[in-house]
Amino acid sequence: MRQILKYENIKEELPKLSEILLNTIQSDILEIKRVDKCCKRFNEAMQKVPKLEDSEYVVFSKYIERVNHPYEKFIFLSKEGEEIFDASGTQMELYQLLAATNLRYTPEYEASLNNNK
């Protein structure tokens, strides 16, 4: 059985994304979101993690429950998908820091979402 890829334009939008991150995001194991630099929480988070200013995206597990976030690792990426730094859930929280990406779901992934409703 063929694996369903999640995003159809991820390679074009994030050309420097590592192969391992690309595969785990496309397999829907890890999630990718844009860092919302316009929100109030962004300025607060930058006080703790100054490198956050250079990041455009963050990769994280969507399967870890909030209570276990201190044990999670967040991978922050540049605009082209290059890894900038990582932070643990003990260093910061992602809540209210995430925004939608410009990545488009593949038609197959979109259909699988509709079938699971």
Number of other CB atoms surrounding residue 11 within 10 Å:
12
Can you tell me whether residue 2 is helix, strand or coil? coil
Return mean pLDDT, the chain: 90
Whether the per-residue pLDDT at 2 is higher than 70: the answer is no
pLDDT band at 48 (very low <50, low <70, confident <90, very high): confident
Amino acid at 115: N
Instruction: Check residue 1 and give its pLDDT.
Output: 37
Instruction: Check residue 117 and give its pLDDT.
Output: 63
Cα-based distances in Å from 56 to 59, 81, 84: 10, 8, 10
Average pLDDT over residues 2-24: 94
Whether the per-residue pLDDT at 94 is higher than 70: the answer is yes
Cα 33 versus chain centre, distance: 4
| pTM of structure | 0.89
pLDDT band at 6 (very low <50, low <70, confident <90, very high): very high
- With beta carbons less than 8 A apart as the criterion, state whether 46 and 55 touch: no
